[in-house]
């Protein structure tokens, strides 16, 4: 594996952490979750974030997803200082540039796959016809054409996660943040979801940032960052697994 550095390559960073610190609590109960983290992520990367419980990986992802802000240091997204934005500005950044996929799918149980996928567009005030067309297109991109009217109860776990991915990409985000996206799936479905993420990264150019504790899932990424005790312990590029390759 080739070690990646903060200056690796000529490409301009889409995302950059500079000496990011995150502290929870005050005084004697203060806990430093991140300890001066430096991280550069170029547009189009597929990055896996790993580390033991309490290592800071989830805190880093929350900041990357504009769900939290650093206590100190800088977080730049396309050269915008995110740590200087107010809550509403961060919400707009999430809405227009970021997509989220979670371990638990987070689908509305009584609504169809298409209605679930349309939700981010509904929040953005998109017209009905545009919402319908975009949702159908997103479902087709994840291999679920013909399943638009099915509710989550009528879908397998793998299909539910595909709906969740379609919902995350329907807004055409620059970045997809995936938190343990295969955590609730069996081995076969897990590899199918990872191959889907690889295709979206390669064919659509979506930057993928994924938290996982499974090394065989991280093997699909082009780069793996390990967090330990609130700091980056290692940052290495690797040969990305080809879609359809045997696990």
- CATH number for the domain that contains residue 206: 3.40.50.300
Q: Are 189 and 182 in contact (CB under 8 A)?
A: yes
Using DSSP's 3-state secondary structure scheme, residue 39 falls into: strand
Indicate whether 18 pLDDT > 50: yes
Structural domain includes residue 138: no
Domain region containing 32: 2-103+174-237
Structural domain includes residue 122: no
pLDDT, residue 9, reads: 43
Structural domain includes residue 96: yes
Structural domain includes residue 8: yes
Structural domain includes residue 137: no
Structural domain includes residue 139: no
Q: What is the mean pLDDT of residues 46-54?
A: 95
pLDDT digits (tens, 9 = 90+) for 125-183: 899 999 999 999 999 999 999 999 999 999 999 999 999 999 999 999 999 999 999 99
pLDDT, residue 245, reads: 56
How far separated are the first and last CA of the chain, in Å rounded?
19
CA-wise closest residue to 211 among 95, 76, 97, 101: 101
pLDDT, residue 8, reads: 45
Number of domains in the chain: 1
Average pLDDT over the chain, rounded to an integer: 92
Structural domain includes residue 73: yes
Q: What is the mean pLDDT of residues 7-21?
A: 80
pLDDT grade, residue 113 (50/70/90)?
very high
pTM of whole model > 0.85?
A: yes
Instruction: Enter the DSSP assignment of 127.
Output: -
Structural domain includes residue 148: no
């Amino acid at each position: 594996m080739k070690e990646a550095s903060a200056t690796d390559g000529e490409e301009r960073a889409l995302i950059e952490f500079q000496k990011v610190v995150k502290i929870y609590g005050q005084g004697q109960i203060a806990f430093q979750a991140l300890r001066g983290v430096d991280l550069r992520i170029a547009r189009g990367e597929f990055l896996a974030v790993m580390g033991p419980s309490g290592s800071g990986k989830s805190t880093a992802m929350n900041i990357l997803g504009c769900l939290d802000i650093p206590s100190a240091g800088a977080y730049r997204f396309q050269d915008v200082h995110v740590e200087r934005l107010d809550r509403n500005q961060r919400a707009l950044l999430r809405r227009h540039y970021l997509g989220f996929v979670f371990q638990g799918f987070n689908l509305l149980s009584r609504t169809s796959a298409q209605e679930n996928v349309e939700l981010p567009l509904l929040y953005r005030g998109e017209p009905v016809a545009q919402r319908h067309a975009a949702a159908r297109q997103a479902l087709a991109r994840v291999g679920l054409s013909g399943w638009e009217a099915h509710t989550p109860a009528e879908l397998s776990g793998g299909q539910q996660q595909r709906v969740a991915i379609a919902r995350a990409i329907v807004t055409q985000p620059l970045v997809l943040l995936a938190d343990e996206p295969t955590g609730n799936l069996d081995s076969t479905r897990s590899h199918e979801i990872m191959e889907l993420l690889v295709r979206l990264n390669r064919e659509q150019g979506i930057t993928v940032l994924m938290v996982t504790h499974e090394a065989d899932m991280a093997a699909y990424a082009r780069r793996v960052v390990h967090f330990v005790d609130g700091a980056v312990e290692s940052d290495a590029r690797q040969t990305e697994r080809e879609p359809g390759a045997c696990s």
